[in-house]
Amino acid sequence: MRLLIMGAPGAGKGTQAVGIATHYGVPAISTGDMFRDNVKNGTPLGKQVDAIMKAGDFVPDEITEQIVADRLDQPDAQGGFLLDGFPRTMHQVDALDDYLDKHGHSLDAVISLDVDPEDLIARLLKRAELEGRADDNEETIRHRMEVYTSSTAPLLDAYKSRGLLVAVDGNGTVDEVGARIAAAVDAKVGR
């Protein structure tokens, strides 16, 4: 199973990705986690993306695409994957298409978690308070929402036009949303 999960910041992608990946027996691959690990470990990449992430902007396509391609080349991703946080631009969509074409694969479905933007802002502010995330203040969160909408909303249209989009209500408990996702994906791929 080769899946993407999309949704605005705070929609629950990371939380749901773990359950979906377990359900389908594939690794959950989060670009955000990869970037945060690099920042935490002080790698050259981490130093490069730290300022970008603190400003609430996205890391440049070429850097992100190379990191994702390297990760998809790992043995655990050969039988499938769930990408969280990638692609975020049409350039990244094209890069992922090229990567999959070269390896004789295609996407099975693109999950879109739909949650009201004001609910997302409240979620992210609560998360920032609980986890002490410096990058989650209200101004930065609102900026991230604007960047998400302007940069990635066209991707949803592109995947919808390909018949890959599976829109799921992202409100409710983790288990409720997870069950809706599994049912929608299974229906989409005929499982």
Which member of 127, 142, 160, 188 is catalytic?
127
127 is a catalytic site residue:
yes
Which member of 2, 71, 144, 180 is catalytic?
144
Which member of 13, 123, 162, 188 is catalytic?
13
Write out the E strands in the chain.
2-6, 28-30, 81-84, 109-114, 165-169
82 three-class SS: strand
162 is a catalytic site residue:
no
Quote the Cα angle for 98-159-1, to 5°. Answer: 70
Quote the Cα angle for 111-145-22, to 5°. Answer: 30
88 is a catalytic site residue:
yes
User: What's the token pair of residue 184?
Assistant: 């929608």
Which member of 40, 133, 162, 191 is catalytic?
133
Q: How many Cβ atoms are within 10 Å of 125's Cβ, its own excluded?
A: 15
2 is a catalytic site residue:
no
173 three-class SS: coil
Q: How many Cβ atoms are within 10 Å of 133's Cβ, its own excluded?
A: 13
133 is a catalytic site residue:
yes
Catalytic residues: 13, 88, 127, 133, 144
